[in-house]
Structure 1
């Protein structure tokens, strides 16, 4: 199937070492799906939280579109339940309980008519690792600029 990325979390690339990735479904309301179709999503400060052995997306913001009927009762910052297999949930919960590991959302994309969230188990980087990652990104950006000007 063809997939189209809605939003990605670029911060996750610089602040973490991404170890293993998972793809999860999201439990969304109707207005949220309409807003996602228009790309009104912010994943920058979001993370995955364990509540009663279930995984929830916390801190993501889906702004409502202008033309929805239910203006009251709309919470753009509400917790959204992640839909995963039991084995995947256990694996993620075990990794989160280990010291120094966390689970971060990497990107949200469409798979057919379903919105899917790509998660990654991650370890925090040290400051010298962050500097090295940013330096490599700067070098690659300069290469792209040089190639663009060359053509």
Structure 2
């Protein structure tokens, strides 16, 4: 099936996260939003680059994700662009994440924001920060892949 027929439309992708972190596990979460935020997301005005997630008081929170104010509404009814938003996860998923984040020192990073059957979903990942030499290794692997694909196209 195609992405459109299933109702799956990617709005924003955080490619920088895959470069900065080694992704270990991913989780799909809903996001508690205001009306003008949903309208801005439909227009694709979302930036996940500096975002991260925290777990406080057995609840997951999405911080520092920028959703631009909706232009067609007044300032009074609009939302704050970088407000803290609640992530909707199951209790057992939150308990599992608490253990991994606190004991192993991992980070929760948003990877993608998308619409799934009309609802805004966010893909968050447990990531382990890469060191500088790991980042260099990633760049080297990418360049090697490009060179191999170029060589294959020639012949």
Same fold by TM-score, threshold 0.5 exceeded? yes
Question: TM-score by structure 1 length?
Answer: 0.89
| Superimposed CA distance per residue, residues 16-52 of structure 1 (whole angstroms, 9 cap, x where no aligned partner) | 1111110000000000000000000000000001222
**Paired residues, number:** 148
**Following superposition, which runs of at least 4 residues in structure 1 exceed 2 angstroms of deviation?**
69-74, 137-144
What is the rounded CA distance, in whole Å, between the counterparts of 1:142 and 1:37 in structure 2?
Answer: 37
**CA drift at 1:99:** 3.5
Q: Is the 8 A contact 2:9 2:114 kept in 1?
A: yes
Distance 1:112 1:51, change over 3 A: same
Could you tell me which of 47, 70, 73 is aligned with 2:52?
47
**CA drift at 1:4:** 1.0
Structure 2: 5+ residue stretches without partners = 1-5
Distance 1:34 1:126, change over 3 A: same
Q: Which residue number corresponds to residue 77 of structure 1?
A: 82
Secondary structure of 1:17's counterpart equals strand
Structure 1: 5+ residue stretches without partners = none
Secondary structure of 1:92's counterpart equals helix
What is the rounded CA distance, in whole Å, between the counterparts of 1:112 and 1:143 in structure 2?
Answer: 39
Secondary structure of 2:94's counterpart equals helix
- Which runs of structure 2 are paired with 1:63-102 in the superposition (5 Å)? 63-71=68-76, 74-102=79-107
**CA drift at 1:72:** 6.1
Secondary structure of 2:137's counterpart equals helix
